[in-house]
Structure 1
């Protein structure tokens, strides 16, 4: 085995977004493309020499090959050790947990999260730092800077390792440890939750369905739900990870998990249902006859987390991304704890968690987590819900009804306009920014604007500032409309409009969501002059 330095790069457009670098799979498969990006990561952190890394991914197309390439580049750059999941599989929260448990220097996560997989679909790679969380902006900017000038990478010429067998292997002087992808994560969950009480719940006849969407969470859910907790065989659906997610779209929302939603709305509905995404960091929560929005789920978990052993002492605080509804704020105020509003991107929660200022975090895009790792964690959220259900012995619908009566209901929806030409999307956002000074006091569709801004965030821990994070339009009475361009797509631009309306009158707590938001939807369209995009309806409503 020898180390070679091969000439390649630079490649345009290797700028990491909020969740790393995402491109079409064929782009990552271009000779030198992945290799140069990995080398740029190592260059940006002062090299890999004598360091320990965790590597794994969600099993999508090109995952196996990419893991082998990363191992060889890490070895060529002098890494002391690489910990890799069996067959190259690790959920994103499991990577975060292993980094923290093993005191690793960082981790490379291969995933495009909830994006579809396959040779003609999406692939991604992000770097996580030593706290287990996504690299902060200072590091991603340095990675991007490296990609603009890189002209070579170092790689070991060696045969691919057999990643199917647990144990120690090596490439040159680098130790490669192949680990069970589930074991350490499952042990952590057992520390946080009352598994015995949840077992009793299942033994009482409680029924559940968990849709793993042919993604990485399948083995985790089978081992924990059906294995450790005694849920009936067949509780976990689509449990076998697939390179193209069974031809589906591994995004746990009512559009892409429609069969699960239809099931809970049917006469044969289970008591509880949930789904997770491609890399296991997102979740969808449902009960018999009800869908729980991610914003409401965060609020309910904040209000009831003390029922689980790992959170029995209470919460230090709660944080949410700016587009997420303010439902969690109302819970935090009632509990007398701090709440924070951050930009979109889990990395912004990292400082708050590390400083002990918050315990729970959540994003409206189906991401919820806590201080147990530094990533959002889909299965963790499901297990916390199960612990709450086991303690209260209430249905999901009853829990939501009680919650809304106590705190009010933040009717909430996201409208996505996908694959918009980038110049059109940017023009719409620039037009909105230009209007902001003149909007307060004006009325649209019966709603009066109380304030508006282009959200900027001052990190209370390190003093860093993040600008232009999305446009907020706040109406009198608690309604909001938020406009933001997403950074997770790979074709054109995706305009996301987040719509919220607070309702505290008990007789109006059980309306259809889109009906309850009708005036906010119309006001948002008028304010943004949305018709300029030539779109009469959003591509996706969640």
Structure 2
């Protein structure tokens, strides 16, 4: 019943910031998924008889790989697997299930905000027992194993019925198919003031959420429409589709433009939000105001005590290095710790486990807290609705008052997608070679004060992560950051982050790109982006 299958290694199975992501046809190669899953199991110890959680965002090839993973888990000695009905579990919901039921770990099948379909993206990620992404020591071990793997174990049994909730036997291992939504929705109800939000919606405050035909749909319908009383249809594109309806499930001003335009229209909703493929990202839009992810983190931190689950205050705040320093000013005023980490949610896990931080965020539309160990799109949406209900103010007023109190961090991210990988690496290499010569350089009215390649010393386990993004800081506090993204599957994505702090409230409503114009020009002068990428402008500006 248990087979050991001979295989040959693939050379390209190095996990990125969120697991292994490749195009579906790559994963469909003989033993490709099996090799990586076996490498995960071979890199772990002490899981015999323990529980594993498996689920994904419903994208194309999700069901097929779940069936393989179930049979391999049985063959490798797990005692039980909890799997979401239909193969569905949002990334934050998977984290919660791991934590709530004391599972050994979990396999999350997703490529997050990347497109889905027969020729699009797929991904496999391992989460550890705290519910968070595996740390680098584990992903490094997995990659090392993939390079020499010569066999994998699998049970020769029929597929499990993923659509029926209940318990099943699979080669002596229990498979429990669970409702993927209820545990997560119940958790949200313990964190936020549902009666206050319900009253806000009942008063006529119109809320819409675009689930982008991705995994958030069932969760948003249960919470927003069924538990909070929003009218049917408030959740748009609520049915998860394997190809996300041919759309790109990335909640930003390009891919969620229809929602943005609707909220900004005269007769549009008062509040809009969008989530991504696996439910861990969010975009917040209020009437007359788009909220940057950096500002969203800062506002949530500053108003955390509005929500019952955070009524006693927060222990600290963490943000990824490219994220704006808006939250730093909140932490300073609250007298709590502020931690700047590399990009990747796994870096927040140690800080939360050590009770050093409660809320954290990344500029790539990700915010979350210690309730799970992943970023959480719906959590952020509910937090905003809780703040609005408590303050009895709209999004625009809340943001303007926040800027008046803390100052505004003008901030933008320019993505250059699909760049030739060699050219992208050449750009970064050339930048690194310039770093020591940049301080003191003047570009227009800007003078470089510091330049480095960000390195992070984890204050909990003392691990060091180097080469995490090139930072160029200017006198007066402005900065530009260059980083190659680790979440794409074809070519390279160069990300340029641009930031300027403005304390004067009279200057808080300048158009963002205009306010950052000289810094954007300096980035081109220093990095020669057009020369290396062959692109005259970014693919996406957020």
Q: TM-score range by the shorter chain?
A: over 0.9
Equivalent residue pairs, number = 541
Matched-pair contact (CA < 8 Å) for 2:47–2:104: no
Deviations 1:118-160 (A, max 9, x none): 0110000000000000000000000001100101111111111
Cα deviation, residue 265, structure 1: 1.6
Cα deviation, residue 313, structure 1: 0.5
Partner of 1:416: 415
Aligned-partner Cα distance in 2 for 1:529–1:281: 34
Aligned-partner Cα distance in 2 for 1:445–1:517: 13
Aligned-partner Cα distance in 2 for 1:535–1:202: 45
Matched-pair contact (CA < 8 Å) for 1:54–1:108: yes
Partner of 2:199: 200
Aligned-partner Cα distance in 1 for 2:443–2:303: 37
Partner of 2:517: 518
Aligned-partner Cα distance in 1 for 2:190–2:27: 38
Partner of 1:95: 94
Deviations 1:486-520 (A, max 9, x none): 11111111110001111111111011111111011
Matched-pair contact (CA < 8 Å) for 1:300–1:403: yes
Matched-pair contact (CA < 8 Å) for 1:48–1:77: no
Partner of 2:343: 344
Aligned-partner Cα distance in 1 for 2:310–2:477: 30
Aligned-partner Cα distance in 2 for 1:269–1:445: 42
Instruction: Find the residue that maps to 1:491 and give its secondary structure.
Output: coil
Instruction: Find the residue that maps to 2:303 and give its secondary structure.
Output: helix
Instruction: Find the residue that maps to 1:83 and give its secondary structure.
Output: strand
Cα deviation, residue 48, structure 1: 4.4
Aligned-partner Cα distance in 1 for 2:46–2:414: 42
Aligned-partner Cα distance in 2 for 1:312–1:429: 44
Matched-pair contact (CA < 8 Å) for 1:422–1:492: yes
Partner of 1:467: 466
Aligned-partner Cα distance in 1 for 2:252–2:270: 18
Partner of 1:223: 222
Matched-pair contact (CA < 8 Å) for 1:320–1:340: yes
Alignment of 1:432-471 (within 5 A): 432-471=431-470
Partner of 1:5: 4
Partner of 1:539: 539
Partner of 1:117: 116
Instruction: Find the residue that maps to 1:126 and give its secondary structure.
Output: strand
Matched-pair contact (CA < 8 Å) for 2:113–2:248: yes
Alignment of 1:9-88 (within 5 A): 9-46=8-45, 48-88=47-87
Deviations 1:188-238 (A, max 9, x none): 101100111111111111101100000000000000000101111111000
Deviations 1:46-97 (A, max 9, x none): 2742121000000000001111110000011111000000010000000000
Alignment of 1:215-364 (within 5 A): 215-364=214-363
Aligned-partner Cα distance in 1 for 2:30–2:536: 42
Partner of 2:167: 168
Return closer, same or farther for 1:7/1:48 CA change in 2, 3 Å cut-off. farther
Aligned-partner Cα distance in 2 for 1:26–1:47: 33
Partner of 1:132: 131
Aligned-partner Cα distance in 1 for 2:169–2:478: 57
Instruction: Find the residue that maps to 1:39 and give its secondary structure.
Output: helix
Matched-pair contact (CA < 8 Å) for 1:48–1:74: no
Partner of 1:158: 157
**Structure 1 residues 271-280 or 26-35, which shifts more?**
26-35
Deviations 1:2-36 (A, max 9, x none): 11111112011101111000000111111211011
Aligned-partner Cα distance in 1 for 2:365–2:94: 19
Matched-pair contact (CA < 8 Å) for 2:421–2:492: yes
Deviations 1:310-351 (A, max 9, x none): 001011000000000000001110111110100000000000
Cα deviation, residue 457, structure 1: 0.2
Matched-pair contact (CA < 8 Å) for 2:498–2:519: yes
Are positions 1:506 and 2:505 aligned together?
Answer: yes
Aligned-partner Cα distance in 2 for 1:46–1:307: 42
Matched-pair contact (CA < 8 Å) for 1:264–1:290: no
Aligned-partner Cα distance in 2 for 1:8–1:147: 11
Aligned-partner Cα distance in 2 for 1:160–1:268: 50
TM-score, normalised relative to structure 1: 0.99
Deviations 1:440-460 (A, max 9, x none): 121113111111110000000
Matched-pair contact (CA < 8 Å) for 2:211–2:217: yes
Aligned-partner Cα distance in 1 for 2:166–2:217: 23
Partner of 1:484: 483
TM-score, normalised relative to structure 2: 0.99
Matched-pair contact (CA < 8 Å) for 2:91–2:279: yes
Deviations 1:342-401 (A, max 9, x none): 000000000000000000000000000000000000000000001001101101000000
Aligned-partner Cα distance in 1 for 2:18–2:381: 22
Instruction: Find the residue that maps to 2:219 and give its secondary structure.
Output: helix
Aligned-partner Cα distance in 1 for 2:212–2:246: 10
Aligned-partner Cα distance in 1 for 2:423–2:357: 38
Matched-pair contact (CA < 8 Å) for 1:213–1:238: yes
Instruction: Find the residue that maps to 1:515 and give its secondary structure.
Output: helix
Runs (5+) with no aligned partner, structure 1: none
Aligned-partner Cα distance in 2 for 1:336–1:239: 41
